[in-house]
Structure 1
């Protein structure tokens, strides 16, 4: 963890508590680059479908003297290291909740680290949380807006993708995507067009993207029926139109489906579309014992080195030896 930079993280194994599956993400140098590595951040998030949200989460770090220090959910707070419970929608999946905590000093300090490791205490309790503050079902805004999807009576723009037409609403698209906002309400030619052609995208991907824009969800995105190939196309579309919530949702699925057969193409995708989280997940997989050698023997490895030679520098910094290829040009 010493080599991780701000916004880079490692994740715990999935664990079970009170009927839910959870994962803890640890950012040793903080989850925001502007904090310059001055804090360590932790994100506790649901991994699977939730059964209840009537739970509170508290985080604390064990000191070497046996005492604990609670984590603050806000930064900065000077010397006050307090934890504030927060339940919000997670960027990783609709309906997920998370608790967020920061340790105001760097993680690698003497009173926290003990023989090269540290202990994080995560307490998850049942509680009565006001429904209007945290329950995913407390607002039917998405369902109301979702009913406008495909409604030709109120639509004011049509997108043509191959041989398919999709009627949409400029205001909704502009509110959800800065790219659509610039396209539809700026000085671009599309601002006055009633029909807009979309190139380099299949209708199924565009339809799934529209569904997320209107409903903040993608049906079946977390199911096995949703192929990795389709998720990658959806990830590219989300990045193209700067829809960060959809991009994070695709990242979550792709991170959970990394294998020796997919890691190279997934890593290339992460590098092409600026996804530090997906990149870290791929590198973590590659650096697992016994995986690196098998990966370097694949044809995809050589192609990746040709296209992204700088990524090998990061891998070399983490391991002692890497098979050398002298004829990669």
Structure 2
């Protein structure tokens, strides 16, 4: 039985909205700044407001770390961690103020657990310096587009009578299956179909595709160009500083953007080597993925080794996880009893340095 025509109903809706903004950063006196600021150090822009939050752009003229010293890096930073999701597009502007597509990068980030998003190898310094289209009168310009997803909120909807609600056919919904791109790429790697390069690692052969590797790593791109222009060995490239299982995991990540399923023992053996490979081949997301996974294995038995490894390989998140564990005096006591203070001092001197620095902050 339909309701009477005079029934008034209330209604509300939950909305999710976004707010966008731009900030243009001009680097004036490029060469003087480059010579004055060391690799790993930066200069920040003025704060700018988008979506109700203040942001700043950090400019690294000689790379975010010494590993990327030949690149120019940028980082978009929040003053503090906040539960907000945002998308950032950083683009190099030509002399007409138009974005250069080949130097435009987009990254989405959830600021619940961190306060910065990194554009690590944004552009090679040598590329910028030899192009008058980008660098003129010792100046160049970048633009950062920020889109902030605002927290969902409920709002009242104007009440209507049932007689005024129009009838409409139900919407047509087309079911779109999840992306299967990585499955196809994984199959391409597994079968070796149409491969055009072979790697020899620890006596084992791996077939791969030049374009995939070049797109994923600037170091692989340079390595394969050099191999192609040289005498070569019938398309065989030797990798002498990795084990076969590590290189297999590296290739798998390059094709699927995911780490292989590993048991605890396998992960302990492979992940540190993958961090080293990620640093060598300039694959920042792989390094962060491995670092995040290593955080799961931090405990009183492993924390000393993990903290030493984090310091050696610049894994700041892993280092903070280790120091967080050591916030508990009980954990620290167990570690000293297990390892022995003299052994810790001789084997992990940097661990004690970090602990002393942490204790000094609390005093």
Q: Which residue of 2 aligns with 1:199?
A: 240
Deviations 1:36-90 (A, max 9, x none): 9762233xxxxxxxxxxxxxxxx5xxxxxxxxxxx57368xxxxxxxxxxxxxxx
2: CA distance between counterparts of 1:178 and 1:38?
Answer: 29
1: CA distance between counterparts of 2:271 and 2:315?
Answer: 14
Query: Retained in 2: the 8 A contact 1:173–1:181?
Result: yes
Give aligned pairs, total: 222
Q: Which residue of 2 aligns with 1:85?
A: none
Question: Are the structure 2 counterparts of residues 150 and 251 from structure 1 closer, same or farther at C-alpha, using a change threshold of 3 Å?
Answer: same
Deviation of residue 246 (structure 1)? 2.2
Q: Which residue of 1 aligns with 2:50?
A: none
Deviation of residue 306 (structure 1)? 3.2
Query: Retained in 1: the 8 A contact 2:200–2:239?
Result: yes
Deviation of residue 139 (structure 1)? 2.2
SS in 2 for 1:314: helix
SS in 2 for 1:148: helix
Question: Are the structure 2 counterparts of residues 284 and 191 from structure 1 closer, same or farther at C-alpha, using a change threshold of 3 Å?
Answer: farther
Question: Are the structure 2 counterparts of residues 220 and 301 from structure 1 closer, same or farther at C-alpha, using a change threshold of 3 Å?
Answer: same
Deviation of residue 101 (structure 1)? 6.7
TM-score by length of 2: 0.50
By relative contact order (CA 8 Å, sep 6+), the higher-ranking structure is 2
Q: Which has the higher helix share?
A: 2
Deviation of residue 280 (structure 1)? 0.7
Q: Which residue of 2 aligns with 1:314?
A: 357
Q: Which residue of 2 aligns with 1:272?
A: 312
1: CA distance between counterparts of 2:310 and 2:57?
Answer: 19
2: CA distance between counterparts of 1:141 and 1:30?
Answer: 34
Deviations 1:16-44 (A, max 9, x none): xxxxxxxxxxxxx98986679762233xx
Deviation of residue 200 (structure 1)? 2.7
Deviation of residue 225 (structure 1)? 6.5
Question: Are the structure 2 counterparts of residues 72 and 203 from structure 1 closer, same or farther at C-alpha, using a change threshold of 3 Å?
Answer: closer
Report the aligned-residue RMSD.
4.2
Task: Pick the structure with greater CA Rg.
Answer: 2
Which consecutive unaligned segments of at least 5 residues does structure 2 have? Answer: 1-53, 60-74, 89-106, 116-150, 155-172
Which consecutive unaligned segments of at least 5 residues does structure 1 have? Answer: 1-28, 43-58, 60-70, 76-90, 92-96, 105-121, 321-329
SS in 1 for 2:188: coil
